[in-house]
Amino acid sequence: MTRVIKIIATMLLFASGNLYAQSPTPSRGFNLIVVGDPQPQTEAQIVDLERDIIPEIGAIVEEYKSSGYPTAILLTGDEVWDTMEYLPRVKALFEELGVPVYAVIGNHDHDRAIDGNEPLAESHYIETFGERYYTFAMGDTRLFALDNIDYENYDSYSIGISREQLRWLRRELRQLDDNQRIAILMHAPAVDYRTGEALPYAKRLIRLAKGRELHFVTGHRHRHATADITATTIEHSVAQVNGNLWFAPMCSDGTPRGVLCIEERDDVWMWQHRLLGGPTNKALIVWQESETKNYEDNIIAKVIGWDKMWRVEWMENGENRGAMEHIEICDPGYMHYVEHEAQYEDIIMQRLRRSAHPNKGYFRCRRTEPNSHISIIATDRFGRQYRWDSASK
């Protein structure tokens, strides 16, 4: 009952936007800024990381420092794009932000010149970032970084957790209280997003958790997704921080450049995708009539960071019209960029087009009166509301 009261109280504070003002003496908790797949491959890209992305993340770091809670950064793997020489530079750039930096190893953090010798292929990463699996504590959570890339060579790797890591994890979990929250940090996902089911290796990890509250934090897919796997298990799949492989200002699912911010307050986890280079608390992107192909008569809304716990409603001339219709489409903003703005060589343009797939998190409505005033209100699982008004477009 005490935990339920804490959850309700914290949700009310967040919904009011007044958490810090009502908590002058911080309780146990933390801020974790999750950076998805930085992955620079060229000198120009690492310069963009240094000049554009790092300062924007730094602004969030400074904001969090003022909250009084410990703050850290997590890199979800693919710290580089097969460029082993950039590993120390990437680490140094994030460490300059003045908070602890944690990382997991990705498939592109292995030396592609090495075939059939995984220890040698990952040696550059280990020399820079340290061991492939380890544990640390923040607030009321015990976090475990694991290596779920079983690497043979550049063109052949699989996803799973080695027996060595499973034995280690089992020993570590035995030392925790039965109600201790845990987080497992890995590069590749725990969920098959075609079926919505946890992958076999992840089901084993869930069994090891033995009913504890468990959060998977992963990257690799370059898209945002939040999956409620069980009543106590959630995966946070984090979109790529730099857009689509540095070639677009958003990922192929339409998620703008940004980071996932996880906040623990009074033993409760909350999270939010925060944009870089724009309003950090923005969650709605809206296209009006004639702006979306095949939906010319509709208003289309994208909810950044959407999951199944969101409510998306609309109003017309002040009258509540109820829930918007949920649809799955290719992101209109991404498609417009690829077809009308991107100018790259053919191989990159093919890659940009190939990565476009229908995604969840889109909604539509249709005016009942010409030129009527439309309001869209999106509410996340924590009670935080985001609003768009046609008059303010």
Tell me the pLDDT tens digit for each residue of 275-323.
Answer: 998 787 799 999 999 999 999 999 999 999 999 999 999 999 999 999 9
DSSP state of 250: B
pLDDT band at 20 (very low <50, low <70, confident <90, very high): very low
Q: What pLDDT is recorded for position 122?
A: 97
Report the pLDDT value the prediction gives residue 3, as an integer from 0 to 100.
41
Q: In the 8-state DSSP scheme, what is residue 19?
A: T
Average pLDDT in the 313-342 region? 97
Same-domain status, 261 and 383: no
Same structural domain for residues 294 and 263? no
Q: Answer whether 342's CB lies under 8 Å from 350's CB.
A: no
Q: Is 59 exposed, middle or buried (0-12, 13-18, 19+ CB in 10 A)?
A: middle
Q: 232 and 303: one domain?
A: no
What is the reported pLDDT for 281? 79
Per-residue model confidence as pLDDT tens digits over 157-214: 999 999 999 999 999 999 999 999 999 999 999 999 888 899 999 999 999 999 999 9
Residue 270 and residue 292 share a domain: no
CA atoms within 13 A on the CB side of 5: 2
For residue 368, the SS3 value is coil
Rounded CA separation 346/351 (Å): 9
Separation between Cα atoms, residue 360 and residue 312, nearest integer Å: 13
Q: Which residues contact 347 (CB under 8 A, 6 or more apart)?
A: none
pLDDT at 27 > cutoff 80 = no
Same domain, 159 and 114: yes
* 140 and 63 within one domain: yes
Number of domains making up the chain: 2
Which residue range forms the structural domain that includes residue 249?
2-275
The length of the chain, given as a count of residues: 393
Note whether 155 and 248 are same-domain residues.
Answer: yes
Average pLDDT over every residue of 354-373:
95
Q: So what's the pLDDT on residue 7?
A: 39
Q: Which of 275, 298, 323 is the last residue of a domain?
A: 275
Choose one of 275, 294, 315: the last residue of a domain: 275
- Reported as half-sphere exposure (CB side, CA atoms, 13 A), residue 366 has a value of 5
Place of tokens 């998190």: 361
113 neighbors 106 (Cβ within 8 angstroms):
no
Same domain assignment for residues 44 and 155: yes
323 and 250 in one domain?
A: no
The predicted model scores a pTM of: 0.92
| Percent above pLDDT 70 for the chain | 93
Task: Specify whether 10 is located in the same domain as 102.
Answer: yes
What's the token pair of residue 39? 């992955």
Task: Read off the pLDDT of residues 30-41 as tens digits, 9 standing for 90 and up.
Answer: 999 999 999 999
| Mean pLDDT confidence for 340-351 | 96
Cα–Cα distance, 329 to 359 (Å, whole number): 5
Burial, 347: exposed, middle or buried (Cβ in 10 Å; 0-12, 13-18, 19+)?
A: exposed
Residue 196 has a pLDDT of 87
Last residue of a domain, one of 275, 299, 327: 275
Angle at 242 between CA 238 and CA 243, to 5 degrees: 80
196: left (phi over 0), alpha (psi -120 to 50) or beta: left
- Both 203 and 339 in one domain: the answer is no
pLDDT of res. 26:
58
We report the CATH number of the domain holding residue 179 as 3.60.21.10
Looking at the predicted structure, is the pLDDT value of residue 9 above 50? no
What is the structure's pLDDT at 2? 36
User: Is residue 129 a contact partner of residue 145, using CB atoms and an 8 Å limit?
Assistant: no
Looking at the structure, tell me whether residues 191 and 340 fall in a common domain: no
Average pLDDT over all residues of the chain: 92
pLDDT band at 23 (very low <50, low <70, confident <90, very high): very low
Tens of pLDDT along 51-94? 999 999 999 999 999 999 999 999 999 999 999 999 999 999 99
- What was the pLDDT predicted at 393? 56
